[in-house]
Structures are given as C-alpha cells and as structure tokens.
Chains A and B, each alone.
Chain A
Amino acid sequence: CTQKTSYRSFYFFAKDIVQLKSLWSLQFGNYLQSFKSNSFQILSHFTMQTVTLIPGDGIGPEISTAVMKIFEAAKAPIQWEERNVTAIQGPGGKWMIPPDAKESMDKNKMGLKGPLKTPIAAGHPSMNLLLRKTFDLYANVRPCMSIEGYKTPYTDVDLVTIRENTEGEYSGIEHIIVDGVVQSIKLITETASKRIAEYAFEYARNNQRTSVTAVHKANIMRMSDGLFLRKCREVAENYKDVKFREMYLDTVCLNMVQDPTQFDVLVMPNLYGDILSDLCAGLIGGLGVTPSGNIGANGVAIFESVHGTAPDIAGLDMANPTALLLSAVMMLRHMGLHAYADKIQIACFDTIKDKKVLTGDLGGKSKCSEFTGEICRRVQDME
C-alpha cells in the first residue's frame, strides 16, 4: 500500500490507543494527557525518532543506561544520539557548549539530560545555564504527582509548576555600588512574561487542566510583578475555558503546605518558580522522583532529572533512575507517543507500589540494575 494509506490506517490505530489511554486516564487523571506537538502526533507512532542523550556526570551514565534499557524493553521508537556537554571557550572568549552537541540538539529537537556537575570557581558559568541560553529554554515545567507506594505526608498532589526560566531574579546582573552595598537586578520584560503565560495556558488547555494560578508579589514589587501579572491577565482573556487565578507567593506557600490539592497549574517568574517547584518536589518525595522538562524556542525541548550527580554513589549501581525515567516519559508524551509513555509509567509506578524491588533512597535494598530489570520485566509482560 502507499505511504498515504498506511498513514491513514495507522491513524485509526492511533485512535484505538487514545481510547485505551482514556481507560488508564481514569486511574491516573490529568497526568496522562500530553501537551500537543503538531509535528510528532501521528508520525511518531511508527517512525524512529532520534533523541539527543546527554548522560551527564556522577550517576548520570548509569541512570541513562537504565532508561535506554527500559525504552528498549518497551520497544519505543526512539534512537539515542549520545553527546557530552562541557564548557568550551569559543572565539572571542565566549563560553559555549561543544558544537557537535548543539548541532545534534538543533537537528533532533528533543533531548534527555542527566545531572551535570557545576564545579565551583571553574571560571565558567554553570552548564545548565549555558544550555538554557543556547536553546532559549524559556519554560521549566514540573508536573508533581503523588506516587502511590512512596509515602509522604502529602497524598493526592497533582499540580504542575511552570516557571519562567530566562530572566527575573536570575538575570545575573549584580553590582557593588559602594563598599558594603550590593545591588542585584531583577528583570521582568513584557515579551518573556507574555511568552510564559501563553505557554502555561496552552499547556493547561492541551492537558485538560482546569485552572492556571499566577504567583506573584505585586503588592511589594508593584512594577515588575505588576507587569508579569498584567500579561497573565491579558493572555487569560484568550483562554476563557481555563480558569485564571492570581495569588500572592506567600499565600501560595501557606496554602500549599496545608492543602496542595487546591492547586492545578501554577505560572510564575524565575525565583518564585525555583522555590515553589522544589517545594512541590518535596511534597511528593524529593528530586529523586521528580520529572522536569525545559521548553525552548524553535521546538526544542530538553527533559532532565533535576537531582544532583551524587558522586558518592556513582558507579556503585545504587542510583535511582526514576526521575530521569519519568522525565523521559514526559518527553514521550510531548512527542505524542502516549501509549509507550503510559506503559513505561505504569511499569515504574507498579514497581514502586509493589515495594519488593526498590533502590536505597526509596527505602529498599536493591541495586539500580535490579530495579531497572523489574521495570523492564513489567513492561514486557504488558505486551
């Protein structure tokens, strides 16, 4: 048959997958929805997609291997192109990432990254910052959902923090005015605020989330957070199907630790996003189980684990690959590969729920390879 007819038949096949997915959705609610990515929706179901893989430092390589194994067991149509990122100085002394890494990302658009170490006093900015600047990764998205089987004092957490990732308090502009007086500049621009607000509402709409809450401190920072808030309000006008709320940062913190279920999608400038996203990660069990995605301009998206490199357990087969795995699952959804995403996620959650094979940080005694093996086995059993 021609290419066209096979696309059509696969499209109908894809619809079945969507229906199957909705059954799983009943169990896992909103987290199973994807955010739309036009170019990947239908095609990706049967063509191999190349993803740039940056294993990172410390435990990075072993958890990346774990993810690759699990993807292989799930027969996901992903091929990996490994690249390393270290800071190199280009012509003119400007720090940048190696050109082959940049080329690979620009070509593949999708990236998965393990933890990168930031050496102190290395003379160059952090690698994460370099990546952010290189690909204009303007939105950091962290879905936080309680994991059944990994008990924390908070159950039923199901929210998403969307953080503006390029400006705000992290502009890096600081001056010593006179000896003993330092000024740090927080930059808020109309364009960046509008862009992040639009992304937040698009995300909410595409993932069937009901509300977006803008987090700010416009009572104190009248002009800067005032501008951010104004832009959010303007964008909210075009998304009447999504409920818009605004809340002070302190009120959000106060309510978040008492009842996190009242929050859905949160959008905020850089610093508040940094603090709140880590607070929410703490609610569900920490950085070892929290996925994260960075959305950039020109369709680039890099998904990453946000924990550290854990040099003390590197190479000892003790690492927990959950964070990187869930980030990879987030990537699959972004690419429209929901069936594979669901399969791998269910396998991972079931393994944790079962409590028989858990890594040390989850309260078990198993090795990373054993944990990985268990997830692979479950994935294969689902075939």
Chain B
Amino acid sequence: TYTFCCRHTVTLIPGDGIGPELLSHVREVFRYSCVPVDFEVVHVNSALASQDDMDNAITAIRRNGVALKGNIETKHTLPPSVKSRNNILRTSLDLYANVMHCQSLSGVQTRHKNIDIMIIRENTEGEYSNLEHESVSGVVESLKIITRNNSLRIAEYAFKLAREKGRRRVTAVHKANIMKLGDGLFLQCCKEVASGYPDITFDSMIVDNTTMQLVSKPQQFDVMVMPNLYGNVVSNVCAGLVGGPGLVPGANYGRDYAVFETATRNTGKSIAGRNIANPTAMLLASCMMLDHLKLNDYASLIRNGVLTTMNETRVVAHSRYWGLGTTSDVVQSVMKNIQSKGQLTAEL
C-alpha cells in the first residue's frame, strides 16, 4: 500500500509542437496511477513579443518549486531582442545544472551498445549569455561569459553527483587550446574541485576530439561536465547514440527550483498532432520529477512500466529508424504494465 502525506502541486508548461500532447499523456498516466500530484497549467504564447507569459510561468514555478515543461518555440520572425523563452526560464530561476543520463536500452537497436554516460552541463552562462550587439553595421559580436563562481558550482555539482551515484571518472570537455582564458578558467575550476575528490579520477578532453570519440568508442565515458554550448552538442550526440530524442529525459536543477523536460529539448513541429511522437522521454522525465518530490514508489512504478514497454513488450512509437506504433499504443502499453503490478489504479 502507498501512504502519501500530502498532494504536490507542480507547474506544467505545455509549450509548442509535441509538448502539449506528450504532457497530456503524462497526466493520463499519473491519473491512472493515482499519483498525488496536481498540475497548475501555465501557457506561454511563443508568437507574442511580450514577456508577460514568461513572467507568469516563472512566478508559478517559484511558487510550486517544481515544473514539467515542453519546449517553447523561438520564432525567428520576432526581432532578435526577443530571447529564447526556454533560456530566460533557466537563467531567471538560476537552474544552473542540466543533467542527462544516457543509457543503452536493451530493447532499442543502436550501433553502439553498453553506453552509460551522465552529462552535466552548465546551464546559465557560456555562449548562452544573450549578450550580443552590432558594433558596426555588418559586424556582430556575441559574448561568451565564463565565471569562476559558476564553473566551480557546476564542477562541484558534477563531482558530488558522481560520488553519490558511485561513478568512477569525471571528464571535463573544453576548448581551452583556443579559448585560453574562457575555457581555461572553466578547466582550472574543474581541476580545483577535483582535488577535493581523490576517489574520483578526473581528466579532460577537447570538444572536437570528444565528439569523434563518442561516435567511435562511447563506452569510455563515465561522467562528463562542460560549459553550455558543448553541453548542447554532447547531449544531442549521446541522445542520438542511445536511440534518439524520444527516449532520454532531462532535468534542470537550481538551488531552489527544478524543471524537468525531454533531454534534447525538441519542439518536434513536424510530428506534432500526428500521434507519432515517442512519449518515453517525457514519461521518464516525469519519473525524475517524482523522485525529486520524494514520491519514489510512484516513480519506480511508472518507470518500470515504461522500461518494460521498451525492452520487453517492445511497443515502440513511430520512428523513421524502427517501429510504426503510435503514441497512444505506447501509453496504453505503459498503463497495462503498471496495472499488471497489481497496484491500485484508476479506471482505464
């Protein structure tokens, strides 16, 4: 039996593209499993230039402390002064650590096997500092900011997480041979933090070599820590290696808030509304959220349902690479697997 002491309220931002449909499936599964979570839905209209929607969303997340979100589109038709909403959310709430766990799944056919990489990406500064200006006509400068504080903070997070999860090695990814001061500072901070964790091996690798190694021998990596842009590249490469954007969940942690989403943050406009998006990533993200809320039993229940669907019953969502199932097929299978565990569930 489950005991729950209280119901949690979580902010839900549907976003654009496949976000709304995936999140409605999450709600369906939560309802079915009697998860004690209420969602406060906040919409953000990406077509508007005004910040009001985002301000509301951020206030709601501050209030609830936790959010689950779809990706908000950045419309290129709006002027450059309108920044990426997703980025604004991350920086306003100081969600400094983006964490992604890439694991090979037995039921997913991929070129590489036995991948188990944790990627910790600095989430607030670096190339995503949103500081750009046109100094003279036709010449644009974009500033990449690296600070000692944020670099130490993310390195500390990476090593602490590595120790918690019993991981052996942390690799810092950088381009300090070219960006000597910026990435040099990042690397320096990682080295400093590493000295406080003698039980964990620390090494570093240049980002272009890293991508080359990832596509040939990804099994060599354990935990990786890096600044923002390289994090973007490496997390997408790793997600592709383990089977694609529909499979991997992502989490953004700050000191006070946490926001969960799919790891590769795709809007998926071309597949929206066609019942073919893979709900796995978003469902697993919701499980990460449940763990964060200390509702571990519910998290395990749903996670096992999803993984059983992936690895055993092999119901796979539509993918150009394998499977022709629909989103609903996958969700139905997940719920059946949950029911088969014999727990109390709502009517299907």
Contacts and interface: CB of A to CB of B under 8 A. Distances in A.
Interface of A: 152-154, 169-170, 172, 174-176, 179-191, 217-224, 226-227, 249-251, 253-259, 271, 274-279, 281-283, 286-287
Nearest to A191: B138
Contact of B216 (A180, A249, A282): A282
Nearest to B216: A282
Interface string B123-156: 0000110101110001111111111110000000
Given A255-B240, A281-B212, A184 B233 contact: no
A186 B141 contact: yes
Contact of B179 (A169, A217, A222): A169
B239 to A, nearest CB: 6
Interface string B207-239: 111011111100000000000011011011101
Contact of A278 (B185, B208, B235): B208
A248 to B, nearest CB: 9
B213 A282 contact: yes
Contacts of B148: 179-181
24 contacts: A154-B215, A169-B127, A169-B144, A179-B148, A181-B148, A182-B147, A182-B182, A185-B143, A186-B144, A188-B139, A189-B139, A219-B76, A220-B74, A220-B84, A221-B127, A222-B80, A227-B140, A249-B233, A253-B240, A254-B237, A257-B237, A257-B240, A275-B230, A279-B214
A251 B209 CA distance: 19
B339 to A, nearest CB: 33
B7 interface: no
Contacts of B5: none
B71 to A, nearest CB: 10
Contacts of A175: 181
- Chain B interface mostly: mixed
Contacts of B230: 275
Contacts of B81: 222
A282 B145 contact: no
B169 interface: no
Contacts of B321: 258-259
Given A174-B182, A274-B208, 16 more contacts: A169-B179, A174-B181, A180-B148, A182-B185, A220-B74, A222-B81, A249-B232, A253-B211, A253-B240, A254-B239, A254-B264, A257-B240, A275-B230, A278-B211, A282-B213, A282-B214
Given A182-B147, A187-B139, A274-B208, A154 B111 contact: yes
A259 B111 CA distance: 11
A220 B212 contact: no
Contacts of A250: 232-233, 235-236, 264-265
Interface in B62-109: 74, 76, 80-84, 87
B180 interface: yes
A220 B213 contact: no
